[in-house]
């Protein structure tokens, strides 16, 4: 088996035994990236010299007996995380020359534990998209089919894991941006509870919805990564002061007596037949494992998309006001006066999808429309949160589809923004409710495309969804299949 084929846990054991050095593993990954990324376009920036220096440092730590799970592990992070001295673009022309003076808290934690950063991963511009086609650096291609999208906005993170360019990766999830790419690329993706992982140093899209999450090849690796980045951070005002459990100890493989809810609003007539078959098979597997299947209702699901695209765009409008060409980032040349410079900079720097969302959000917040749109959307959000609270009085986890279809073709939905937005119909409610969810490989379409299943848990119940996901993984082989690359 090649070094790039190893899971995080497998590579850790080889590093620990001395069979492999971090430098060797890092060189193998860098070679893999060089050989495959021209096809996939998962990376915006690769940093081989810095990566090898970190690998050598990790090897010294290992030799000294100062080793954790992530020491010497080569990984990459979405280009939305600030990285000191490394280009951080958010896949936008607006930040094409931006090099931050500090690290995002999540990456700093990985760095402190001895992880090796290979580079920064492609994404939808400012994390706004469901297909990874809005990037200023070109679309990411799905390793399972180069003509298909990998999902968005963390498409580069999912594609890099699926293509075995990295052992694990970090992404962010605002409305499904970790989970939907995980489903389309056949890997595991976790969206933690809002406040579980620090957002400090993550370039903001929608501050009340954004959350950092890992993407990995299996549930064990996902649990390790969550444990590495979770925890209270005083630099993030939304960070929750809650103890971080040992997530790996939750992976018992036992779900006997676990109550799994099936919301009728998610099993709709328009669901793709392959997706439906994969979910039916997952339900059957859980029954065989001894879980109890319960029919439930989340009655305000139909209003989630409208609510989300008012709240998210309103917050984006406010967050992206800082990109004006004055303090950092790109600045338009040949402008006559300050206002023209602002206007030209924002016109030239932002892509069409980002402009669309800024305009939607600005309109929703404008005088005379705030109460009619933004305030009403927040009230609907409260109703959605109550739906989940009531459902969790009767069940432990909720099992749903991730996306209505397997990965669609590149360019297929670019001229129909509404259809693109509906790609997230099964994931956005989790962000509105602020709770946690995990996606696991659950099947394949007739075209050989991965299909995931989503397990939603109570707030701060990541242990429960990890346990349920791990039990399913142990009973199936979907996670062992590799993209034909």
Q: Which two tokens stand for residue 53?
A: 């220096």
CA distances from 480 to 6, 70, 252, 437, 474 (A): 11, 22, 19, 21, 10
Cα–Cα dist 441/450, whole Å: 7
The pairing of beta strand 212-216 with beta strand 168-172:
antiparallel
Please tell me the number of Cα atoms within 13 Å of 101 on its side-chain side: 1
Exactly one of 153, 157, 239, 307 is catalytic; which is it?
A: 153
Instruction: Measure the CA–CA gap between 178 and 157, rounded to whole angstroms.
Output: 8
- Catalytic: 153? yes
Q: Is 458 a catalytic residue?
A: no
What angle do helix axes 376-391 and 304-319 make, rounded to 10 degrees? 120
**Residues 6+ positions from 314 with CB-CB distance below 8 Å:** 361, 364, 365, 374, 377
Tokens read off for 80: 């939305």
Tokens 């006066």: give the residue. Answer: 337
| Cα–Cα distance for residue pair 361/349, rounded to 1 Å | 18
Choose the catalytic residue: 22, 78, 92, 183: 78
Kindly name the residue from 22, 135, 145, 177 that is annotated as catalytic.
177
> Burial, 46: exposed, middle or buried (Cβ in 10 Å; 0-12, 13-18, 19+)?
middle
Specify whether 111 is catalytic: no
Name residues whose C-beta falls within 8 Å of residue 198's C-beta, 6 or more positions apart in sequence: 104, 105, 106, 212, 229, 231, 232, 233, 235, 236, 239
Cα R_g (the chain), whole angstroms: 21
Q: How far apart are CA 485 and CA 477, in angstroms?
A: 19
The C-alpha atoms of residue 453 and residue 467 are separated, in whole angstroms, by 14
* Residues involved in catalysis: 78, 153, 177
């Amino acid at each position: 088996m090649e070094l790039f084929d190893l899971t995080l846990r497998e590579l850790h054991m080889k590093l620990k035994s001395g069979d492999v050095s971090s430098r060797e593993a890092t060189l193998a990954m860098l070679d893999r990236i060089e050989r495959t990324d021209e096809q996939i376009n998962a990376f915006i920036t690769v940093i081989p010299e810095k990566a090898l220096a970190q690998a050598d440092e990790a090897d010294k730590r290992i030799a000294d007996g100062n080793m954790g799970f992530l020491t010497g592990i080569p990984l990459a992070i979405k280009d939305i995380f600030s990285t000191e001295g490394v280009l951080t673009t958010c896949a936008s022309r607006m930040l094409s020359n931006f090099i931050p003076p500090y690290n995002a808290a999540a990456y700093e934690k990985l760095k402190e534990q001895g992880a090796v950063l290979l580079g920064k991963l492609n994404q939808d511009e400012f994390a706004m998209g469901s297909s990874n086609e809005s990037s200023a650096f070109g679309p990411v291609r799905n390793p399972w089919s180069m003509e298909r999208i990998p999902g968005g906005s963390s498409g580069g993170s999912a594609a890099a894991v699926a293509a075995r360019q990295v052992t694990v990766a970090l992404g962010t999830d605002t409305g499904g941006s970790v989970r939907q790419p995980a489903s389309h690329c056949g890997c595991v993706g976790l969206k933690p509870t809002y406040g579980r992982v620090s957002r400090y140093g993550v370039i903001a899209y929608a501050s009340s919805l954004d959350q950092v999450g890992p993407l990995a090849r299996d549930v064990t690796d996902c649990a390790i990564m969550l444990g590495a980045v979770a925890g209270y951070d005083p630099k993030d005002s939304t960070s929750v002061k809650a103890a971080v459990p040992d997530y790996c100890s939750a992976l018992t493989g036992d779900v006997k007596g676990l109550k799994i809810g099936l919301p009728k609003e998610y099993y709709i007539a328009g669901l793709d037949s392959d997706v439906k078959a994969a979910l039916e098979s997952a339900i059957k597997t859980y029954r065989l494992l001894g879980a109890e299947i319960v029919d439930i209702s989340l009655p305000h699901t139909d209003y989630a998309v409208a609510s989300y695209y008012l709240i998210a765009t309103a917050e984006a409008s406010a967050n992206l006001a800082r990109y004006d060409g004055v303090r950092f980032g790109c600045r338009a040349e040949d402008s006559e006066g300050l206002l023209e410079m602002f206007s030209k900079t924002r016109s030239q720097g932002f892509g069409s999808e980002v402009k669309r969302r800024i305009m939607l959000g600005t309109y929703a917040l404008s005088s005379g429309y705030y109460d009619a749109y933004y305030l009403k959307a927040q009230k609907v959000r409260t109703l959605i949160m109550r739906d989940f609270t009531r459902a969790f009085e009767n069940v432990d986890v909720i099992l749903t589809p991730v996306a209505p279809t397997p990965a669609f073709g590149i360019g297929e939905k670019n001229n129909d923004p509404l259809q693109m937005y509906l790609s997230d119909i099964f994931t956005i409610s989790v962000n509105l409710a602020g709770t946690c969810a995990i996606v696991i490989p659950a099947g394949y379409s007739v075209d050989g495309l991965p299909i995931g299943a989503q397990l939603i848990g109570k707030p701060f119940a990541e242990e429960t969804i990890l346990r349920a996901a791990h039990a399913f993984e142990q009973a199936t082989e979907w996670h062992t299949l590799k993209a034909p690359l």
